[in-house]
Structure 1
Amino acid sequence: MNKAKDELKKQFWNQFIQARISGYENIYANNSTTSKKGIVKQTEFSGVSVYVNLNQTSVNVTLVIYSNPEVPEKSKLSKDERNAISLEQNIRIFEYLQQNSNEIQKHFSEKIYWKESHYIRKTAIISNDSWQYEKQSEWDDINAYLIKTSYLLKESVEKALLNFEAS
């Protein structure tokens, strides 16, 4: 059963990566086909990515904030110290974007859910439970939704982060 689902995901991602819709760049066009549940695209801002994933009952576009600190190669910082620096940076980015979420949210009809966790990673999720990837008849609509949402999320976040770097 899992092998069949993996193959279906691979077929979906293959079609998705090649899909085009007018007015929106498919930011995942250069990704490789996978049988995993999602694919990711790094934004212009280091440590911030846009991730699309498939669940049995929904499709999601997620902003992932997971920066790695710039540490000199011969640094004596421990892994815990590097993680603490990374977490601090992630929190700063996350809080800045959350404070400017109106500028990002205005591009979407679905609500963006900002999620903090106890882990280093911080996320903002746009979820749509209107589609199930297992229904191949819906793939064109799913592709259009994911391409448009991912593109708009990436562009609006990058625009907001231009001001973050200046602050």
Structure 2
Amino acid sequence: MASSGSPPGGRVIWITGLSGAGKSTLARALMPYLPGAVLLDGDELRAVLGTPHTGFDRQSRLALAMIYARFCKLLADQGQTVVIATISLFHEVHAWNRAHMPGYLEVFLDAPEAARRARDPKGLYAAADQGQVAQMAGQDTAVDLPEIPHLILNTAAVALDQCLDRLLQEIRSA
């Protein structure tokens, strides 16, 4: 028998930071604690939702980030818990998210550049240093660091399990 009424409230946990900050790592570590949640990763979303010709300049990144935001809202409006790991560092996007997303929780991973470069999981910093990558967010393409995130985690100074504990505490108190 079908139930009546609207779906239970969803929420969006928006994990943001520069490349190498640990967004995907933290998001994946969080998933076992949120049964039934949907994980969206910015790199995977770009491949699925972006066109093959989507650029990396500010306007292209902003347009794609707004697509991510609307997609997260669509899922959350249907009662889903959405965990998204994405750079998407734009004040316009963060403001839109706060105004439109149910249960929005913004988590900023603020790792120093030296730590991000040491990790360099995709080899982007090394490639940028050799002139092989242009328009890298936070390097030669300006970003807007979050003004009022719900949680700031320095993933270079705090171990993954401690970051996860702090994030879970924030989720439970929200």
TM-score by length of 1: 0.25
Structure with the larger RCO, 1 or 2 (CA within 8 Å, 6+ apart): 2
Larger radius of gyration: 1
